Structure 1
Amino acid sequence: MASFDPHGHHDWHSQQYVEEWITSATARDPERRAILRRVAGLIPREADAAIRVLDVGAGYGALSAQVLDRFPKAELVCQDFSEPMFGQARERLAWASERLSFVHGDLSDPSWIQALTGPFDAVVSGIAIHNVRYPERIRGIYTEIFDVVAPGGCFLNYDLIFVSGPSAAHAYGHAAHLKDWIRGESDDATRAVDTATDGRASSRRNAVSLEEQLRWLREGGFREVECFWKEGQSAIIGGFRPL
């Protein structure tokens, strides 16, 4: 079976690997929960609206849970490549099982979208699409998503969007330095943060910039394209399909 992660960083088909990965990921859930709620809150519909939502790369359902909580009448489709992840999502989202369905698909293959029946009032994704790795493929995914968004609907993507270069990374390092100084932590710890941040930026000089990703959304057909939130290497971007 083909790999959703072509660089071999993850083994999404392994039950053991997925369970270990989720154990690590859920440790960050408290800090990410506010961001996931922000994504759900950006869907421009009233809370009692009976909307259809697609969660791309839904994983164990962390973002889906926030959408289902925000919109008690919503129907949500979880799309993912990993059956072990589906098992976790079914268990964690059992409280909303009547409003859930699951669709298997490999984002690295443009045919993934054919398994989905649109339109959707909103398409969301959380820390998933970057795993495709190849910029041109990510660009294609944005266009494919546009095809299943309802007129007036939106696409919201919370994902890793790495800093554009070493100068920006150094600025983030200085921000980390200020936080450490306020807390009274040592300069050695700050220098370690600066070095790690600069190193990540240097290794990602060919990574796609925020500006390019926003351009891809526009080229895919979305309008009123925005970066709704950004901090460090994480951002919420998205756009709307014209009526």
Structure 2
Amino acid sequence: MTSTPDLNEYATAEHALKYLARADHIPHRTEGEAVLLEFIPHKVKRILDLGTGDGRLLALLRIERPDAEGIALDFSAKMLASAGERFRGDPKIQLVEHNLDDPLPDLGRFDAIVSSFAIHHCTDDRKRTLYSEIYAALSPGGVFCNLEHVAPPSAELHVRFLRLLDITEADEDPSNKLISVEAQVRWLREIGFQDVDCHWKWLELALFGGTKKR
């Protein structure tokens, strides 16, 4: 649960490559992704993926939404290069380099905004402000879903989580800034999101989100 306020190791190509190598081996990740897919309507026209990494989540979304335009946003040049390879030749996908620590650029309005294991690198104050910016960027009736690494409720459950990931405390990402799913769900409600809930959870992995009022 180490946290370093001004550090994000994903700025380095080495760290980005390590993450991409192990991303498919995160236990139960595909379960959370499958539930996320259920909450995104098939008729969405524009999708924003915050912290897209190599574009994995956006690519999954577009399998059954091939006509949707997508913006893949990330601040890591290495991650964006991988996403560029994934979406090579796809005119409906735009790559945007941007650090989530900074206010979101004006990219228009979106029917769905998603994120996967990215926002927990922001400070708690920035997380809450970012959720307000996401709300503003959604079209009426738009959906926000965040598949995220959240704080554990106890030290014992954290140890269990690390054991199941086959890592030790020394292997933890020092740029993690974790907070409970309960706190983040409360923030979304306070901002004005409707139908807010934690839709899926396994130990420190959680999917939560809501919709913007029509």
The Cα offsets for residues 91-120 of structure 1, whole Å up to 9 and x where unpaired, read as 12336x2210012211112x2x1x232210
1-structure distance, mates of 2:48, 2:106: 9
User: RMSD between aligned alpha carbons?
Assistant: 2.8
Using the aligned pairs only, state the percent identity. Answer: 32
**What letter matches 2:85 in structure 1?**
E
Which residue of the other structure, out of 10, 16, 19, is the alignment partner of 2:17?
19
For 1:98, what is the secondary structure of its paired residue? coil
> What is the 5 A alignment of 1:19-168?
19-28=17-26, 31-43=28-40, 45=41, 47=42, 49=43, 51-94=45-88, 97-109=90-102, 111=103, 113=104, 115-132=105-122, 134-166=123-155
The Cα offsets for residues 163-202 of structure 1, whole Å up to 9 and x where unpaired, read as 22347x38x95xx9xxxxxxxxxxxxxxx77xx99xxxxx
Which residue of the other structure, out of 182, 185, 190, is the alignment partner of 1:211?
182
Report the TM-score, using the length of structure 1 for normalisation. Answer: 0.73
Give the conservation status (yes or no) of the 8 Å contact 1:56–1:80.
Answer: yes
Instruction: Pick closer, same or farther for the CA change 1:23–1:207 going to 2, 3 Å.
Output: closer
For 1:146, what is the secondary structure of its paired residue? helix
Which residue of the other structure, out of 178, 181, 191, is the alignment partner of 1:220?
191
**What letter matches 2:17 in structure 1?**
E
Instruction: Pick closer, same or farther for the CA change 1:34–1:212 going to 2, 3 Å.
Output: closer
Higher normalized helix content (fraction of residues): 1
Aligned length: 201
Report the TM-score, using the length of structure 2 for normalisation. Answer: 0.82
1-structure distance, mates of 2:116, 2:24: 14
Q: Which runs of 5+ in 2 are unaligned?
A: 169-176
Higher relative contact order (CA 8 A, sep 6+): 2
Tell me which residue corresponds to 1:8.
7
**What letter matches 1:159 in structure 2?**
E
Give the conservation status (yes or no) of the 8 Å contact 1:222–1:242.
Answer: yes
Structure 1 residue 231 displacement after superposition: 0.9
1-structure distance, mates of 2:184, 2:204: 14
Instruction: Pick closer, same or farther for the CA change 1:70–1:34 going to 2, 3 Å.
Output: farther
Give the conservation status (yes or no) of the 8 Å contact 2:44–2:112.
Answer: no
**What letter matches 1:215 in structure 2?**
R
